Structure 1
């Protein structure tokens, strides 16, 4: 179930990213959609993997490995997505890790405060990182 829901969630994020042509605006759009979805769910559901990963990291090796593999899958897919605008593979991978970490991290304060703003702020912050990476790639 973790791998299935993780794969489905990863695909949903890629669909959101692909729905806007500009990569900077695309990232903002994806985080805005996450904020809207979380608010619509009355803050009950966020990422299907993050909560499990936090709970099982030190107590259930099988589930820990499953969640780690899902995160690895997401980073790989996001690295390929960012690779369309950032030719340097390490830079694309760095953006991918950052996006996953920023999204997962923003879910916690949004849920705790029952406020979508942390996700929106995280999206704008991530957009700044993407804009910087693209500008640097264009300069090289």
Structure 2
């Protein structure tokens, strides 16, 4: 059982890393196997649905990782503006550390697979909803009305995903820093109303 979990987890972790850098279409199954170090027969053993199943589960894993990070930051920061600002600072650091080669593994995968692969679309929708839920909860706790908090959460996710793309294109963190400033201002304005 431990070996099964080890190989399965390694395949998923490798998929997330490769999708983040090369996208779904640019990543071959042989690359996933090589990057993971898992035995050759393990891929279809653990993922009988092949690349689509791996894609859906990689999106789920990446989504849960981001959700956990957002929840941790929400517990340590004072309000949604600070939460978003701290998270975007983390993203800017990760982007710089990868020399702007990494992107969001969820977005890169979704852009290449939806609407053809429903399982991947559902995993992405669930991830974005979970992130929005954390941001919305933080905003409501800061006194922002529920409807406005929900709208700001979805706007924030759209803005940060767009900023990640712009960071890769420009090779600089400036788009994330700009989005962090603007979102912090929007949240501050919403809190004072």
> Which TM bucket (shorter chain)?
0.7 to 0.9
**Equivalent of 2:113, from 35, 56, 79?**
56
Which segment drifts farther, 48-57 or 21-30? 21-30
- TM-score in terms of structure 1 length: 0.87
Structure 1 residues not aligned, in runs of 5+: none
SS at match of 2:141: coil
The 5 Å alignment of 1:120-131 reads 120-131=177-188
| Aligned residue-pair number | 136
Hey, what does 1:37 align to over in structure 2? 94
Matched, 1:11 2:61: no
**What CA distance in whole angstroms lies between the structure 2 residues aligned with 1:23 and 1:88?**
13
Which segment drifts farther, 115-124 or 48-57? 48-57
Which segment drifts farther, 94-103 or 8-17? 8-17
- TM-score in terms of structure 2 length: 0.65
Structure 2 residues not aligned, in runs of 5+: 1-56
Q: Report the CA distance shift for 1:63/1:26 in structure 2 as closer, same or farther (over 3 A).
A: closer
Q: Report the CA distance shift for 1:26/1:5 in structure 2 as closer, same or farther (over 3 A).
A: closer
**What CA distance in whole angstroms lies between the structure 1 residues aligned with 2:183 and 2:114?**
26
Alpha-carbon distance, 1:113 to partner: 1.2
How far does the alpha carbon of each residue in 1:18-53 deviate from its partner, in whole angstroms, 9 at most, with x for none? 333254333222212211111112222232211111
Question: Is the CA contact 2:74–2:83 (under 8 Å) kept in the aligned structure 1?
Answer: yes
More contact order relative to length (CA 8 Å, sep ≥ 6): 1
* Bigger CA radius of gyration: 2
What root-mean-square deviation, in Å, do the aligned CA atoms of Structure 1 and Structure 2 show? 1.7
